[in-house]
Chain A
Amino acid sequence: MPAIEVSGLVKDYGTVRAVDGVSFAVEEGEIFGLLGPNGAGKTTTMEILEGLRRPTAGRIQVAGFDVVRQPNEVKRRIGVQLQATALFDLLTVRETIALYAQFVPNPRPVDEVLKELALEEKASTYAKDLSGGQKQRLSIAIALVNDPQIVFLDEPTTGLDPQARRNLWDTIRALKRQGKTVVLSTHYMDEAQELCDRLIVIDHGRVIAEGSPKELIRRHFEASIVQFRLDEPLDAQRAAELGALLGQDGPVSGPEVSAQVEDVPGVLARLFTWAAAAGVTVSELAVRTASLEDLFLKLTGRSLRE
């Protein structure tokens, strides 16, 4: 039985449809990603799964219970970390964890949770005096006091510095090792690629792709991506020549050039010959496999962070 099953989820705010017929399933023990730009409907979807909002339509089963009819059964089995860190300023780290521990029937020992999230040294610090990364860790700590089967993390690394982000990724991988199911929303492509076993890409309240990061990229991109920079603009003839060389329909416009290429060695050889003959300088040349960023661009015609 899947950990989460969502079918036909719709959420309207007045006349605005925030979530428009979303369906997906999350398997037990995987890290599942909701990927999409801000305002795509990720948070709304998550908060419906957590029992914080009522869906307009759709059927949602979390940990085997219907979220609308048995919200408390669901809440007992999940851990929730919201986008806002939602802490009490004047409670210490230990007191915050202890408070939430009192809200559940069989809480885990506070010290154990402190240790797991590497918060022991900060145990008697007020929440307001923690760094961004520490606040997020505390926020996850209180999501873990009830030893949940499923953990929801809503954009956990937004606003963190690179080091703190990597630390948090380790924490999330550790949850998976413990056999927990993790549902993670993010608008960072690298984060989704790095962490998620499977993911859905959401845009304008709809699922536009589903699968593992690798599978998704393989499905949509047979080729690698060749990208480089032109130091000077091309005239019309050269632009047409370069377009044909890279296998594109029309002329190429600079200065950033990016093309999907199947025969990488052949294309590169021809590119160098052509550039030398045409007297064009090609710089910052890179060949890479497609990323989720490219996928999003291909699917929506927009970049994720626009």
Chain B
Amino acid sequence: MRSWLAFFTASFKQMVRNRQAIFWTLFFPVVFMTMMGFLGRNSTQEVKVLLVDLDRSPASQQVAAAFEHVPVFKVTEASSEAAARRQVADAKADAAIILPEGFGARLQAALAGQGEADLRVLYGNANLVKAQETRGMLETTVEHVGLALARRSSPIVARSEAVGTTATGYLEFVVPGLLAMMMMNTGLFSIANVVTRWRDRGVLKRLRATTVTPATIVTAWVTTQMVSGILSVVLLLGLAIGLFKAHLTVHATAIAAFTILGMGVFFAIGFFLAGIAKDSEAVVPLVNLVSLPMMFLSGVFFPIDSLPRWLFKIVHYLPLSYLADGLRSTLTSGATLASLGADVAALAVWLLVAIVASVRAFRWE
């Protein structure tokens, strides 16, 4: 235990002092997240609104004009409700306002105290954050128009409807992917590169000349990297939620489980790569060979079901696919650990296989 603590402390010091490694592990996720965070915001400054005037009465035209006067809305006319609905669903427009037939007549009646005139608002649901903003802005505008006509209560009522399939924005999609990617990179690099360098320099052999067991060395070093991974997860999630207002659900146990299991898998793969690589220079392309395809194919940046069927069937089994899927399910859909058994089991199998392979491939020199 004394040896373990000593090696753990020494490892931790080395990790903290290796600023370059820290920088590269966190640099990309943070930059990418920042880009997405700000991109997401910028696009909310202009709201593309389609206008479908089915009534074509002076009253309906007046209401339509009121929308055009709000600077944040970029209003264009659409030919039919179906066309407008399609465009909103495809996220080509942010929202559509439908002024139904007979709107003018109903507004007249409402102003005379008879019922109310309703118009319909379709808002795009592709980006959860933006959808709420758009809906709020449109409803407020409708209310203002109504109150301009009648002081006490608005004669016009907006009936809002969400259109589109994905319930979350890209930021919400990509943050779990970035977390998974960060875990993969930390896991692979911190083991494969460091172990081969130690082996090249004879550090491993020197350690073996002491009575300290290999298990002590391996567990202490892995624990250090695990701590670094957990801190990175906290930092990235904090940034995503705190600064960029990503709508994520944090189930601490599920996230912790996936962090530990996921990093464990990549530590073991890192040991395996270190074992089969000739030296610390040969291991770099080997690590890239493993990490780059996974980075692009395992659902970090785009959903893997958008890949060709045959490719999907293959990449679906990659460890990063399970890790990204598990993290995404819990962070964006709020799934608890209990409902993510399949991902956990698959990662556990990967962990086992990778450990066996790395033990067989391990070399002291």
Contact = CB atoms under 8 A, between A and B. Distances in A.
A50 B202 contact: no
B13 A95 contact: yes
A84 interface: yes
A203 to B, nearest CB: 24
A80 B209 contact: yes
A274 interface: no
A50 B10 contact: no
Interface in A53-83: 72, 75-76, 80, 82-83
Contacts of A89: 14
B206 A80 contact: yes
Nearest to A78: B209
Given A85-B202, A103-B3, A103-B6, A90 B13 contact: yes
A99 to B, nearest CB: 5
B211 A88 contact: no
Contact of B14 (A76, A91, A98): A91
Given A50-B209, A80-B209, A95 B202 contact: no
B201 A104 contact: no
A102 B3 contact: yes
Shortest 6 CB-CB contacts between residues of A and residues of B: A84-B202, A102-B6, A86-B206, A86-B202, A80-B209, A90-B14
A87 interface: yes
B224 to A, nearest CB: 12
A100 interface: yes
A18 to B, nearest CB: 14
A52 interface: yes
A142 B6 CA distance: 14
22 contacts: A72-B211, A75-B209, A75-B210, A75-B211, A80-B206, A80-B209, A82-B202, A82-B205, A83-B202, A86-B201, A86-B206, A90-B13, A90-B14, A91-B10, A91-B13, A99-B6, A99-B7, A102-B3, A102-B7, A103-B3, A103-B212, A126-B17
Nearest to B2: A102
Contacts of A86: 201-203, 205-206
Contacts of A82: 202, 205-206, 209
Given A82-B202, A84-B206, A90-B14, 15 more contacts: A47-B205, A76-B211, A80-B206, A84-B205, A85-B202, A86-B203, A87-B201, A91-B10, A91-B13, A91-B14, A98-B6, A100-B210, A102-B3, A103-B3, A103-B6
Majority-rule SS of B interface residues: helix
Interface in B273-326: none
B209 A51 contact: yes
Interface string A115-136: 0000000000010000000000
B18 interface: yes
Contacts of A72: 211
Interface residues of A, number: 27
Residue from the set A80, A90, A91 with the largest chain B CB neighbour count within 10 Å:
A90
B208 interface: yes
Residue from the set A84, A98, A102, A142 with the largest chain B CB neighbour count within 10 Å:
A102
Interface in A187-213: none
Nearest to B203: A86
B198 to A, nearest CB: 8
Contacts of B208: 52
Interface string B48-82: 00000000000000000000000000000000000
Interface string B201-222: 1110110111110000000000
B266 to A, nearest CB: 22
Contacts of B201: 84-87
Nearest to B208: A52
Contacts of A90: 13-14, 17-18
Nearest to A146: B210
A98 B13 CA distance: 13
Nearest to B365: A52
Residue from the set B5, B14, B211, B212 with the largest chain A CB neighbour count within 10 Å:
B211
Contacts of B206: 80, 82, 84, 86, 142
Residue from the set A80, A83, A86, A89 with the largest chain B CB neighbour count within 10 Å:
A86
B1 to A, nearest CB: 10
Nearest to B17: A90
Given A88-B14, A90-B18, A95-B13, A103 B205 contact: no
A155 to B, nearest CB: 12
Nearest to B202: A84
Contacts of A126: 17
B205 A99 contact: no
Residue from the set B201, B209, B211 with the largest chain A CB neighbour count within 10 Å:
B209
B202 A99 contact: no
A83 B209 CA distance: 13
Nearest to B212: A103
